[in-house]
Amino acid sequence: MTSPSQKETRGFETEVSRLLHLMIHSLYSNPEIFLRELVANAADAADKLRFEALARPELLEDGAAPGIWIETDPEARTVTIRDNGIGMDRDEVISNLGTIARSGTAEFIRNMSGDQKKDTQLIGQFGVGFYSAFVVADHVDVFTRRAGSATDTGVHWASAGEGEFTVETVMREARGTEIVLRLRESALEFADAFRLRAIIHKYAEHIPLPVHMRQPAGEAGVTPDWEVVNKATALWTRPRSEISDDEYKGFYQHIAHDFEDPLAWSHHRVEGKLEYTSLLYLPRRAPFDLYQREGVHGLKLYVQRVFIMDNAEQFLPLYLRFIKGVVDSSDLPLNVSRELLQKSEAIDSMRGALTRRALDMLGKLAGEQKDDYQAFWNACGQVLKEGMAEDPANRERVAGLLRFASTHGDSPAQDVSLADYVVRMKEGQEKIYYVTADNHAAASQSPQLEIFRKKGVEVLLLCDRLDEWLMSYLTEFGGKSLQHVAKGELDLGKLDSAEEKAEQEALQQAAAPLLERLRQALADRIGGVEVTQRLTDSPACLVRGQHDLGHGLRELLAAAGQALPEAKPVLEVNPAHALIRRLEAETGEERFAALAALVLDQATLAEGGSLADPAAYVRRVNALLLELLR
């Protein structure tokens, strides 16, 4: 067994080796990203030290203020980045720099798009920022000691990024971490101190930690003093009037590890019973883990400017997990923990206020920048729908932010709001109509839409798997109830004239013998037969009870192993259709039953359902075709 004091050579885990190969040989279109990631890691180390020092003040040792120091040596081709943060012990070095505790590396590799610039920018999002050092360096040395440990427990880690690394225990006086990059020939531009200053101004101007660099060379033989090259103040603590849009955007890119600008942001300070500052951002594209409800999400939490938690999910509901940002409170105890956060009345109050703030930001974007809101909806709209169930207190607000496709223009784009629909409602129309299906084509061609197209009534087309579940919570908007066009009895109210209602009653009475024959022939498959009011061109359709599960939700629950209640649909037929007239004229009961089953099967397929006995359907169709060919 290797002694802790001996030098040890280890191999990277397989996925890290793959990542390093990609870093070195492919991801070079934006190499300056390495400095953003290493500075961010140093800032995180300082935050962690401040937090641990709340309970263990001795960790601060010499009492030196936290900071980051960067210097270059053009002759040696090196860049050195040093911090006096929490540091690492030997086990942490091996774990953090040789393996990945979570699936960050694998997820990064799976999400690569082939666009070198975008793939490079993904590095920080997937928690593999340290390895970006190998984009510019052919050899990396790390010297570190964990705060509070003895000076003879320092660690030296080294690697050329070629499949293995060495680690040994060394003497180290200073706590924190020092990273020495030996630059590749193709990256010698980063040995220029002025080039690094420009990158720091771009990526680290806003972090609440001073970044020091040597002053430009003065007299010969005189070592230049260190100077702070960033503002080193927490951006969220500054007045909004003093912060430029570029600074807001830069801070977002820092905390979200995103290469694109945010769509919107909301910066507010609250004073009164509770005092806190929040800065919330709306991303332009979906975070990589958006659909992993159990994944890491939440805001960065500070208490009196002391970093507490990186992903505090208690401040926003799960359906707003795409929101990035910071919250800094003066009222939470400094020994705050996850258990205290979950039970605190202050947290509940802040959560409610921050949720409303986030929804207001979305509402403002939707009202003033429709194209930008559409970009957000296309990226994150599916997750926002979860709010209809998760947040009853804000259900009306969330409903106003939803977007759907509709028969208004028949475009597959989900760009119609409920407010847009209400404005376009026909005179005398009392309900908002919608239909659900597996895809846009099936929804837009649903036979149940025929009467609505004839009368010029707009219908929302819901074709996402989540939509049928969503509509169980979205039953009303703006005083108008929502009605599924394929569920329950269709009552068009004032949209139907007295003559049309009288004609419908006459058809029902005239078709009574046909309806009875169909009930008998299909008794084991349907719950009833009625004359349709919905169809103008199709022979038949299926209609479910007002509160029955639709076929899409039934299939979803069945796939999850859920027991489903027995519910047979009603078959509605169009007596004016030639096929139904031919069926009515059929005198042979056996043939009548076969044709009735064929009509029912077609109605099932038209709604997007599946047949219990597809082979029987094929046999009936083949028999009919053979008759026609005789």
* pLDDT single digits (tens) 163-188: 788 999 999 999 999 999 999 998 99
Radius of gyration of the chain (CA): 33
Lowest average pLDDT, out of 211-225, 231-245, 318-332, 400-414, goes to 211-225
Gap between the Cα atoms of 524 and 596, Å rounded:
13
Q: 557 with 564: CB under 8 angstroms?
A: yes
State the SS3 of 515-556. Answer: HHHHHHHCCCCCCEEEECCCCCCCCEEEEECCCCCCHHHHHH
Position 212 scores a pLDDT of: 94
User: Among 32-41, 362-371, 458-467, 529-538, which range has the highest average pLDDT?
Assistant: 362-371
Angle at which helices 578-585 and 589-606 cross, to 10°: 160
What pLDDT band is residue 419 in, cutting at 50, 70 and 90?
very high
What region does 571 belong to: left with phi over 0, alpha with psi -120 to 50, or beta? beta
Gap between the Cα atoms of 438 and 552, Å rounded:
7
Q: Is 105 exposed, middle or buried (0-12, 13-18, 19+ CB in 10 A)?
A: buried
Q: 236 with 291: CB under 8 angstroms?
A: no
Gap between the Cα atoms of 27 and 36, Å rounded:
15
User: Among 5-19, 98-112, 175-189, 574-588, which range has the highest average pLDDT?
Assistant: 175-189
Position 219 scores a pLDDT of: 55
Q: Identify the bridge partners of residue 80 per DSSP, sorted by sequence position.
A: 71, 180
Closest CA to 575 of 487, 515, 501: 515
What pLDDT band is residue 116 in, cutting at 50, 70 and 90?
very low
More confident residue, 264 or 611: 264
φ/ψ of 434, rounded to 5, equals -150, 160
For all residues of the chain together, what is the average pLDDT?
Answer: 84
Q: What percent of the chain has pLDDT over 90?
A: 41
Position 308 scores a pLDDT of: 73
Position 1 scores a pLDDT of: 39
Q: Is the pLDDT of residue 341 over 70?
A: no
Q: 167 with 93: CB under 8 angstroms?
A: yes
Identity (one letter) of the amino acid at 410? D
Q: Strand 476-477: give its sheet, edge to edge.
A: 405-406, 460-462, 431-436, 480-484, 476-477
What pLDDT band is residue 488 in, cutting at 50, 70 and 90?
confident
Lowest average pLDDT, out of 64-68, 168-172, 398-402, 499-503, goes to 499-503
More confident residue, 509 or 14: 509
Q: 514 with 583: CB under 8 angstroms?
A: yes
Position 498 scores a pLDDT of: 79
* pLDDT single digits (tens) 267-310: 999 988 888 999 999 998 888 778 777 777 889 888 776 677 77
Identity (one letter) of the amino acid at 244? S
Q: Is the pLDDT of residue 100 over 60?
A: no
Strands 78-83 and 176-183 turn out to be: antiparallel
Gap between the Cα atoms of 20 and 98, Å rounded:
11
Give the 3-state secondary structure of residue 511.
coil
Q: Is the pLDDT of residue 428 over 90?
A: no
Q: 145 with 154: CB under 8 angstroms?
A: yes
What region does 230 belong to: left with phi over 0, alpha with psi -120 to 50, or beta? beta
Give the 3-state secondary structure of residue 71.
strand
Lowest average pLDDT, out of 210-219, 252-261, 271-280, 315-324, goes to 210-219
Gap between the Cα atoms of 277 and 268, Å rounded:
6
The encoded tokens of residue 497 equal: 């004239």
Q: What percent of the chain has pLDDT over 70?
A: 86
Taking the alpha carbons at both ends of the chain, their separation in whole angstroms is 88
What pLDDT band is residue 390 in, cutting at 50, 70 and 90?
very high
Closest CA to 161 of 188, 136, 191: 136
Closest CA to 250 of 198, 328, 175, 187: 198
More confident residue, 342 or 197: 197
Q: 61 with 151: CB under 8 angstroms?
A: no
Gap between the Cα atoms of 329 and 303, Å rounded:
5
Position 15 scores a pLDDT of: 61
DSSP state of 6: S
Q: Is the pLDDT of residue 399 over 90?
A: yes
Closest CA to 16 of 136, 131, 156: 131
Q: 525 with 600: CB under 8 angstroms?
A: yes
Q: Identify the bridge partners of residue 83 per DSSP, sorted by sequence position.
A: 68, 177
Exposure on the CB side of residue 51, measured as CA atoms within 13 A: 16
Gap between the Cα atoms of 563 and 561, Å rounded:
7
Gap between the Cα atoms of 543 and 486, Å rounded:
5
Q: What is the DSSP string of 168-236?
A: EEE---S-EEEEEEEE-GGGGGGG-HHHHHHHHHHHSTTSSS-EEEEPPP-STT-PPPEEE-S--S-GG
Q: 573 with 538: CB under 8 angstroms?
A: no
Gap between the Cα atoms of 29 and 135, Å rounded:
10
The residue to which tokens 């960065």 are assigned: 300
Distance of CA 30 to the CA centre of its chain: 26
The encoded tokens of residue 343 equal: 């039970």
The residue to which tokens 């607000």 are assigned: 397
Q: Is the pLDDT of residue 51 over 60?
A: yes
Q: What is the mean pLDDT of residues 431-446?
A: 90
Q: Identify the bridge partners of residue 419 per DSSP, sorted by sequence position.
A: none
Closest CA to 462 of 405, 416, 424, 410: 405
What pLDDT band is residue 137 in, cutting at 50, 70 and 90?
very high
More confident residue, 602 or 110: 602
Q: How far is CA 375 from CA 365, 565, 585, 624, in A?
A: 11, 39, 55, 50
Q: Identify the bridge partners of residue 544 per DSSP, sorted by sequence position.
A: 487
Q: 98 with 71: CB under 8 angstroms?
A: no
What pLDDT band is residue 258 in, cutting at 50, 70 and 90?
confident
The encoded tokens of residue 22 equal: 């990609």
Closest CA to 596 of 521, 510, 484: 521
Lowest average pLDDT, out of 48-52, 61-65, 575-579, goes to 61-65
Q: Is the pLDDT of residue 264 over 80?
A: yes
The encoded tokens of residue 41 equal: 């890691």
Closest CA to 304 of 276, 279, 280: 276
Q: Is the pLDDT of residue 128 over 80?
A: no
The encoded tokens of residue 88 equal: 């690492």
What region does 424 belong to: left with phi over 0, alpha with psi -120 to 50, or beta? alpha
Q: What is the mean pLDDT of residues 187-205?
A: 88
Q: What's this model's pTM, rounded to 2 decimal places?
A: 0.72
Q: Is the pLDDT of residue 617 over 80?
A: yes
DSSP state of 428: T
Q: 255 with 326: CB under 8 angstroms?
A: yes
Q: Identify the bridge partners of residue 145 per DSSP, sorted by sequence position.
A: 176
